[in-house]
Structure 1
Amino acid sequence: MNIRIEMSAPSGDELKSVRVKAGLSQVEAATLMGYPVQSGSRGGQQSRTWQALESTTDPRTMPGPVFAMFQLLTGSHPRFSLRIKEPSSD
Protein backbone atom coordinates (compact mmCIF):
# COMPACT_ATOMS: atom_id res chain seq x y z
CA MET A 1 0.00 0.00 0.00
CA ASN A 2 1.41 3.38 -1.00
CA ILE A 3 0.19 6.30 1.14
CA ARG A 4 1.11 9.85 0.29
CA ILE A 5 1.16 12.36 3.14
CA GLU A 6 1.37 16.05 2.29
CA MET A 7 4.38 17.45 4.12
CA SER A 8 4.80 21.10 3.19
CA ALA A 9 6.32 23.53 5.68
CA PRO A 10 3.68 25.59 7.51
CA SER A 11 3.56 29.36 7.74
CA GLY A 12 3.90 30.79 11.22
CA ASP A 13 0.19 31.57 11.28
CA GLU A 14 -0.73 28.02 10.21
CA LEU A 15 1.49 26.49 12.89
CA LYS A 16 0.01 28.76 15.57
CA SER A 17 -3.53 27.93 14.44
CA VAL A 18 -2.93 24.19 14.74
CA ARG A 19 -1.29 24.62 18.17
CA VAL A 20 -4.11 26.78 19.51
CA LYS A 21 -6.81 24.40 18.18
CA ALA A 22 -4.97 21.55 19.92
CA GLY A 23 -5.17 23.51 23.19
CA LEU A 24 -1.40 23.67 23.67
CA SER A 25 0.78 26.49 24.90
CA GLN A 26 3.99 27.20 23.00
CA VAL A 27 5.95 25.46 25.78
CA GLU A 28 3.71 22.37 25.66
CA ALA A 29 4.00 22.19 21.87
CA ALA A 30 7.77 22.65 21.99
CA THR A 31 8.11 19.92 24.63
CA LEU A 32 5.93 17.55 22.60
CA MET A 33 8.12 18.03 19.54
CA GLY A 34 11.48 18.03 21.34
CA TYR A 35 12.32 21.71 20.86
CA PRO A 36 14.30 23.45 23.62
CA VAL A 37 12.49 25.14 26.49
CA GLN A 38 14.17 27.59 28.86
CA SER A 39 13.34 29.86 31.78
CA GLY A 40 11.72 33.09 30.72
CA SER A 41 12.76 36.56 31.84
CA ARG A 42 9.57 36.91 33.92
CA GLY A 43 9.73 33.45 35.42
CA GLY A 44 7.99 30.47 33.91
CA GLN A 45 9.10 28.69 30.79
CA GLN A 46 9.40 29.70 27.15
CA SER A 47 10.57 28.28 23.86
CA ARG A 48 12.34 30.83 21.74
CA THR A 49 12.60 28.28 18.96
CA TRP A 50 8.83 27.76 18.90
CA GLN A 51 8.28 31.52 19.07
CA ALA A 52 10.49 31.90 15.99
CA LEU A 53 8.62 29.16 14.12
CA GLU A 54 5.31 30.95 14.71
CA SER A 55 6.71 34.37 13.85
CA THR A 56 5.63 36.02 10.63
CA THR A 57 8.93 37.90 10.39
CA ASP A 58 11.46 35.19 11.27
CA PRO A 59 12.70 33.25 8.22
CA ARG A 60 12.85 29.92 10.11
CA THR A 61 10.06 27.45 9.43
CA MET A 62 9.19 24.04 10.77
CA PRO A 63 10.18 21.31 8.30
CA GLY A 64 7.19 19.75 6.57
CA PRO A 65 7.67 16.21 7.92
CA VAL A 66 7.95 17.58 11.48
CA PHE A 67 4.74 19.57 10.96
CA ALA A 68 2.97 16.45 9.67
CA MET A 69 4.05 14.60 12.83
CA PHE A 70 2.84 17.52 14.99
CA GLN A 71 -0.54 17.34 13.25
CA LEU A 72 -0.70 13.56 13.77
CA LEU A 73 0.27 13.81 17.44
CA THR A 74 -2.32 16.51 18.11
CA GLY A 75 -5.09 14.83 16.11
CA SER A 76 -5.27 17.76 13.71
CA HIS A 77 -4.04 16.20 10.48
CA PRO A 78 -6.67 16.77 7.78
CA ARG A 79 -6.48 13.21 6.38
CA PHE A 80 -4.77 10.85 8.81
CA SER A 81 -4.78 9.90 12.47
CA LEU A 82 -2.62 7.75 14.68
CA ARG A 83 -3.90 4.60 16.30
CA ILE A 84 -2.42 2.08 18.69
CA LYS A 85 -1.46 -1.19 17.06
CA GLU A 86 -3.00 -4.34 18.41
CA PRO A 87 -0.47 -6.72 19.96
CA SER A 88 0.77 -9.27 17.47
CA SER A 89 -0.14 -12.92 18.06
CA ASP A 90 3.40 -14.20 17.40
Structure 2
Amino acid sequence: QVQSKTIRAALVRYNFTTRSLTPRRRKLTWDEVVEHAFLSDFDILWDPTSNVALRDWATQGGRQLMDSFFRIEQAKEEIPWLNIEIWYLAT
Protein backbone atom coordinates (compact mmCIF):
# COMPACT_ATOMS: atom_id res chain seq x y z
CA GLN A 1 0.00 0.00 0.00
CA VAL A 2 2.69 2.48 1.02
CA GLN A 3 4.83 1.64 -2.01
CA SER A 4 1.80 1.97 -4.26
CA LYS A 5 1.04 5.44 -2.89
CA THR A 6 4.67 6.46 -3.31
CA ILE A 7 4.78 5.25 -6.90
CA ARG A 8 1.48 6.99 -7.68
CA ALA A 9 2.81 10.25 -6.20
CA ALA A 10 5.99 9.95 -8.27
CA LEU A 11 3.87 9.31 -11.36
CA VAL A 12 1.82 12.45 -10.73
CA ARG A 13 5.01 14.50 -10.26
CA TYR A 14 6.52 13.02 -13.42
CA ASN A 15 3.44 13.76 -15.51
CA PHE A 16 3.32 17.30 -14.12
CA THR A 17 7.01 17.86 -14.89
CA THR A 18 6.72 16.55 -18.46
CA ARG A 19 4.57 19.56 -19.36
CA SER A 20 7.54 21.88 -18.87
CA LEU A 21 10.09 19.80 -20.78
CA THR A 22 11.15 20.57 -24.32
CA PRO A 23 10.57 18.40 -26.23
CA ARG A 24 7.57 17.24 -24.29
CA ARG A 25 7.50 13.71 -22.98
CA ARG A 26 4.36 11.66 -23.15
CA LYS A 27 2.34 11.11 -20.00
CA LEU A 28 2.53 7.75 -18.32
CA THR A 29 -0.49 5.93 -16.98
CA TRP A 30 -0.69 3.84 -13.83
CA ASP A 31 -1.33 0.71 -15.92
CA GLU A 32 1.87 1.28 -17.91
CA VAL A 33 3.94 1.71 -14.76
CA VAL A 34 2.49 -1.40 -13.15
CA GLU A 35 2.99 -3.42 -16.32
CA HIS A 36 6.65 -2.40 -16.60
CA ALA A 37 7.31 -3.11 -12.94
CA PHE A 38 5.56 -6.47 -13.13
CA LEU A 39 7.48 -7.57 -16.22
CA SER A 40 10.83 -6.36 -14.92
CA ASP A 41 10.37 -8.31 -11.69
CA PHE A 42 10.06 -11.51 -13.65
CA ASP A 43 12.96 -10.67 -15.96
CA ILE A 44 15.21 -10.16 -12.97
CA LEU A 45 14.17 -13.41 -11.32
CA TRP A 46 14.27 -15.59 -14.41
CA ASP A 47 17.60 -17.09 -15.43
CA PRO A 48 17.25 -19.59 -18.29
CA THR A 49 20.82 -20.85 -17.95
CA SER A 50 20.57 -22.11 -14.38
CA ASN A 51 18.87 -25.17 -13.01
CA VAL A 52 17.64 -24.28 -9.53
CA ALA A 53 17.32 -27.94 -8.55
CA LEU A 54 21.11 -28.28 -8.78
CA ARG A 55 21.86 -25.44 -6.36
CA ASP A 56 23.27 -26.38 -2.95
CA TRP A 57 20.39 -24.73 -1.12
CA ALA A 58 17.85 -26.78 -3.12
CA THR A 59 19.09 -30.15 -1.91
CA GLN A 60 17.57 -31.82 1.14
CA GLY A 61 20.81 -31.49 3.09
CA GLY A 62 21.15 -27.84 2.14
CA ARG A 63 17.60 -27.08 3.26
CA GLN A 64 18.16 -28.86 6.58
CA LEU A 65 21.38 -26.93 7.10
CA MET A 66 19.62 -23.61 6.40
CA ASP A 67 16.79 -24.54 8.78
CA SER A 68 19.30 -25.33 11.53
CA PHE A 69 21.21 -22.12 10.90
CA PHE A 70 18.11 -19.93 11.12
CA ARG A 71 16.91 -21.73 14.26
CA ILE A 72 20.26 -21.02 15.93
CA GLU A 73 20.11 -17.37 14.84
CA GLN A 74 16.59 -17.05 16.23
CA ALA A 75 17.70 -18.64 19.51
CA LYS A 76 20.53 -16.10 19.78
CA GLU A 77 18.01 -13.29 19.39
CA GLU A 78 15.77 -14.76 22.10
CA ILE A 79 18.48 -15.17 24.77
CA PRO A 80 18.38 -11.54 26.02
CA TRP A 81 14.59 -11.67 26.31
CA LEU A 82 14.73 -14.99 28.13
CA ASN A 83 17.28 -13.56 30.57
CA ILE A 84 14.84 -10.76 31.37
CA GLU A 85 11.97 -13.23 31.85
CA ILE A 86 14.13 -15.43 34.08
CA TRP A 87 15.01 -12.42 36.21
CA TYR A 88 11.32 -11.57 36.64
CA LEU A 89 10.46 -15.16 37.57
CA ALA A 90 13.31 -15.38 40.07
CA THR A 91 12.26 -12.21 41.91
TM-score after normalising by structure 2:
0.22
TM-score after normalising by structure 1:
0.22
Greater percentage in strand: 1
Greater percentage in helix: 2
